[in-house]
Chain A
């Protein structure tokens, strides 16, 4: 069926099978491979994107459910070649090692800050429960999110 999804501000009109998952719509149909697919069982959070501004796991959402909605992927965060404050904070504080979880982690963190939930360390750790990282031990991620929360408030 035909759907129109605004992806990173650009309307994308495509004819897709109803069973196509959002993560594969982004990766295979649109070529936006910044959205990583990890566990595929909605546990790891690597595939997190923003749908109408809210963090969701794109492996557990059909592309057709997003008809008429706005999707933001990691590719849509930087503006005019300048990193989003969350991306900059991750770079500054070394909030990543292998980078696999990073796009999902950053988008989940953006939602957390935007919804005013990144109040303190406990809240940030709780808020990132749905995103797993096997490298960093989370410490630098939490530091980065707290800094980004401070700089954008």
Chain B
């Protein structure tokens, strides 16, 4: 379908963008890559009066190393994150996750910030953000505020970004070393979205897992951390059977989504299986590098 009519503005500064959002409130939508917004416009599920395109704010596309942290501009495309030397060196879970998103064309256009604010329950980025303990930086009329990933995904297609606020960047602390990481998903074959996906960031200590952080996407209304699994893995051994036992509760305490592609029982099962696979892949990869 053809989108409904809207006014289009491409502000020259962040202040101008924030002012536009404040002025137009719910009637305004922020555009970066448009890989979520344009389909919504076409289906007329979104009918904004004003579209505020951030394409002229070139600072928002930067990916920078800042000491023990990595600052990723919200308008960096998935491909830019995937190919960023800084991301690959300091936080390879970001590169790996980016490479699993959609297809080449979507990765060339879609942005990390757009995906995060859209908060699709089956998007890939939220899982990685939770596993990395990332911080979202929002700019609004009252200035800047930081929101932890765990507090950022609040509901189905709902993030903590308020109308009038713009997600400007994502801050990721370099994971504790020696680290291991992996992202595993089962994609719905037409859309590439995750039926279930698990991002895992581990800190290893010899033959045990010193710390485990996991983000699960596709399974519930929004991505979440399976705390029981993290606790069971922490201090535990690296063998397949210990890991499998620890990952069994990946969907426990969660209201599991159900749709034509996957029933709740199957999705819940996938959560455990993919978490286990991600943990084992992370360990195997880390050991491969060490040898």
8 Å CB contact of B4 from A19, A61, A62: A19
Tell me if B104 and A19 are in contact (CB < 8 A): no
Inter-subunit contact A18/B6 (CB<8 Å): yes
Q: Would you list 23 pairs from A and B whose C-beta atoms are within 8 A, ordered by A residue? A: A1-B8, A17-B5, A18-B8, A19-B2, A19-B4, A21-B42, A55-B108, A57-B105, A57-B109, A60-B35, A60-B39, A60-B109, A61-B34, A61-B109, A62-B31, A64-B8, A64-B53, A65-B31, A65-B34, A111-B104, A130-B102, A130-B105, A131-B103
Q: Once the chains bind, are A42 and B106 in contact (CB under 8 Å)?
A: yes
Interface size on B (CB < 8 Å)? 29
Across-interface contacts of B191 in A (CB, < 8 A): 43
Q: Which residues in A have their C-beta under 8 angstroms from that of B42?
A: 21, 40-41
Q: Say yes or no for B68: interface residue by CB 8 A criterion.
A: no
Which residue of B has the minimal Cβ distance to A112?
Answer: B104
Query: Which chain B residues border A131 with CB–CB below 8 Å?
Result: 103
A56 x B109 contact (CB < 8 A):
yes
Distance of A112 Cα from B108 Cα, bound (Å): 12
Contacts of A21 in B (CB 8 A): 2, 38, 42
Among candidates B6, B34, B51, residue contacting A60 with C-beta atoms closer than 8 Å: B34
A93 within 8 A of B: no
Contact of A42 among B2, B3, B4, B39 (CB under 8 A): B39
Query: Roughly how many angstroms separate A65 CA and B35 CA in the complex, as a whole number?
Result: 13
Q: In residues 107-136 of chain B, which contact A (Cβ within 8 Å)?
A: 108-109
B83's closest neighbor in chain A, by CB? A115
Chain B residues with Cβ under 8 A from A41's Cβ? Answer: 39, 42
Within 8 A of B (CB), among A64-103: 64-65, 67
Q: Kindly state whether residue B45 has any CB partner on chain A within 8 Å.
A: no
A129 within 8 A of B: yes
Q: How far is the CA of A11 from the CA of B218 in the complex (A)?
A: 44
Inter-chain contact A129/B104, CB cutoff 8 Å: yes
Measured between beta carbons, the chain B residues less than 8 angstroms from A48 are: 105
Given known A45-B103, A130-B102, A130-B103, contact A60–B8 (CB-CB < 8 A):
no
Are B104 and A18 in touch, CB under 8 angstroms?
Answer: no
Which A residues from 86 to 134 make CB contacts under 8 A with B? 108, 111-112, 117, 127-131
Most chain A C-beta atoms within 10 Å of own C-beta, residue among B8, B31, B191, B192: B8
The B14-36 residues at the A interface (CB cut-off 8 A) are 31, 34-35
Residues of A within 8 A of B (CB): 1, 17-19, 21, 40-43, 45, 48, 54-57, 60-62, 64-65, 67, 108, 111-112, 117, 127-131
Give bound CA distance, A106 to B234, whole Å.
49
Docked CA distance A19–B5 (Å): 6
Residues of B within 8 A of A42 (CB): 35, 38-39, 105-106
- Separation in Å of the B73 CB from the closest CB of chain A? 18
In the complex, whether B290 has a CB less than 8 A from a CB of chain A is no
Chain A residues within an 8 Å CB radius of B3 = 19
Nearest opposing residue in chain A for B99, CB measure: A126
Chain A positions within 8 Å of B227 at CB level = none
Q: Tell me the minimal C-beta distance from B38 to chain A in angstroms.
A: 5
**Closest residue on chain A to residue B53 by CB atoms:** A65
- Let me know if B105 and A19 touch, CB within 8 A: no
The interface residues of chain B lying within 8 Å CB-to-CB of A61 are 34, 38, 109
Q: Do B106 and A57 touch (CB < 8 A)?
A: yes
Min C-beta distance of A17 to chain B, whole Å: 7
Chain B residues positioned under 8 Å from A57 (CB to CB): 105-106, 109
Task: Tell me, in angstroms, the Cα distance from A61 to B38 when the chains sit together.
Answer: 7
- For B35, the chain A residues whose CB sits under 8 A away are 42, 60
Nearest B-chain residue to A60, judged by Cβ:
B38
Lowest 4 A-B CB distances belong to which pairs? Answer: A130-B103, A18-B8, A19-B3, A129-B103
Residues of chain B within 8 A (CB-CB) of A60 are: 34-35, 38-39, 109
Contact in complex: B105, A108 (CB < 8 Å)? yes
